[in-house]
Structure 1
Amino acid sequence: MAKDHSLAVRLLLNIGHGLDHMFLLIFAAAVGVMAHDFGFSTWEDLMPYGVGAFVLFGLGSIPSGRLGDLWGRRRMMIVFFIGIGVATLLAAVAQTVWQMAIALTLVGAFASIYHPVGIPFLVQKSANPGYAIGINGLAGNLGVALAAMLTGFLIKWIGWRAAFAVPALFSIGCGVWFALICPPEVEAPAKRKSGPKVALSRAMVARVLAVMTVSAATGSVIFNFTTNGNNQLFAERFAGVLEDPAILGILLAVIYTVASIMQVVVGKLLDKYSLRPIFLGIVLLQIPLFVLAAYAQGWWLFAAMLGVMVFIFGAVPFVDVMIVRYVDDRMRSRVAGIRLSISLGLSSIAVWALGPAVKGWGFESLLLIMAGFATCTAIVVLFLPADTDVKVEPA
Structure 2
Amino acid sequence: MPLNANDRAIAGFTMAGHALVHWFETSIPIFLVVWLTEFDVGVALFGIVVALGYAPFGLGALPGGILADRYGTKRLVLVCLAGMSLSFLVLAAANSIYAIAAGLILWGVAASVYHPAGLALISTGVEDRGTVFAWHGIAGNAGIALGPFVAATLLIFLEWSVVAAVLTVPGILAIGYGLSAEFDPTAAVADDANAGPDEALSLSEIVGNTRTLFASAFAIVFVLVTFEGLYYRGTLTYLPEILHGLSAMDGLALPAGLEGIEPADYIYVGLLVVGMAGQYAGGKLTSRVTPARGLTGIFVVLAALGLAFVPVTATGVGLVPIVVLCGVLGFFLFAIQPFYQNAVALYTPPDARGLSYGYTYLAEFGVGSVSIALGGVVLGQLSQTAFFAMIAAFAGIGGLLAGALLVSGDRFVTGDGTLEANADD
- TM-score, with length taken from structure 2: 0.78
Instruction: Answer yes or no: is 1:82 the counterpart of 2:79.
Output: no
Instruction: Answer yes or no: is 1:376 the counterpart of 2:397.
Output: yes
Q: What runs of 5+ residues in structure 1 fail to find an aligned partner?
A: 197-201
Matches within 5 A, 1:283-302: 283-294=299-310, 295-296=312-313, 299=319, 300-302=321-323
- 1:10 — aligned with what? 11
| Identity over aligned pairs, percent | 20
1:117 positional shift: 0.6
Q: Do the aligned partners of residues 222 and 168 (structure 1) sit closer, same or farther apart at CA in structure 2, a change above 3 Å counting?
A: farther
1:266 positional shift: 1.4
Q: Do the aligned partners of residues 32 and 290 (structure 1) sit closer, same or farther apart at CA in structure 2, a change above 3 Å counting?
A: farther
Distance 1:59 1:190 in 2: 31
Deviations 1:342-362 (A, max 9, x none): 443222334466667655556
Which stretch shifts more, 331-340 or 219-228?
A: 219-228
Q: State the AA in 2 paired with 1:368.
A: A
Distance 2:126 2:387 in 1: 40
- 2:40 — aligned with what? 39
Q: Do the aligned partners of residues 339 and 122 (structure 1) sit closer, same or farther apart at CA in structure 2, a change above 3 Å counting?
A: closer
Q: State the AA in 1 paired with 2:404.
A: F
Match for residue 235 of structure 2 among 211, 221, 226:
226
Match for residue 281 of structure 1 among 289, 297, 314:
297
Q: Is the 8 A contact 1:61 1:116 kept in 2?
A: yes
Deviations 1:283-330 (A, max 9, x none): 111223223335526734333222222211111122210111111222
Q: Do the aligned partners of residues 388 and 347 (structure 1) sit closer, same or farther apart at CA in structure 2, a change above 3 Å counting?
A: closer
Distance 2:354 2:212 in 1: 21
Q: Is the 8 A contact 2:52 2:104 kept in 1?
A: yes
Deviations 1:43-89 (A, max 9, x none): x7744432223321222122211121111112111101111111123
Distance 1:153 1:125 in 2: 38
Instruction: Answer yes or no: is 1:145 the counterpart of 2:166.
Output: no
Distance 1:265 1:7 in 2: 19
1:172 positional shift: 2.0
Deviations 1:155-195 (A, max 9, x none): 334355455433322112211221122368799x9996167
Matches within 5 A, 1:59-78: 59-78=59-78
- 2:220 — aligned with what? 211
Distance 1:347 1:388 in 2: 26
Distance 1:303 1:31 in 2: 31
Distance 1:273 1:314 in 2: 13
- 2:418 — aligned with what? none
1:94 positional shift: 3.5
- 1:338 — aligned with what? 359
Matches within 5 A, 1:345-384: 345-351=366-372, 365-384=386-405
Q: Is the 8 A contact 1:61 1:112 kept in 2?
A: yes
Distance 2:283 2:107 in 1: 29
1:102 positional shift: 3.2
1:34 positional shift: 4.1
- TM-score, with length taken from structure 1: 0.83
Distance 2:222 2:186 in 1: 32
SS at match of 1:244: coil
- 1:105 — aligned with what? 105
Higher relative contact order (CA 8 A, sep 6+): 1
Q: Is the 8 A contact 2:227 2:368 kept in 1?
A: yes
Instruction: Give the number of the structure whose alpha-carbon radius of gyration is greater.
Output: 2
| Count of matched residue positions in the alignment of Structure 1 and Structure 2 | 386
Q: Is the 8 A contact 1:45 1:356 kept in 2?
A: no
- 1:244 — aligned with what? 260
Distance 1:164 1:107 in 2: 12
Matches within 5 A, 1:254-269: 254-269=270-285
Q: Is the 8 A contact 1:63 1:337 kept in 2?
A: yes
Which stretch shifts more, 289-298 or 207-216?
A: 289-298
Q: Is the 8 A contact 1:68 1:76 kept in 2?
A: yes
Q: Is the 8 A contact 1:28 1:228 kept in 2?
A: no
Q: Is the 8 A contact 2:295 2:339 kept in 1?
A: yes
1:277 positional shift: 2.4
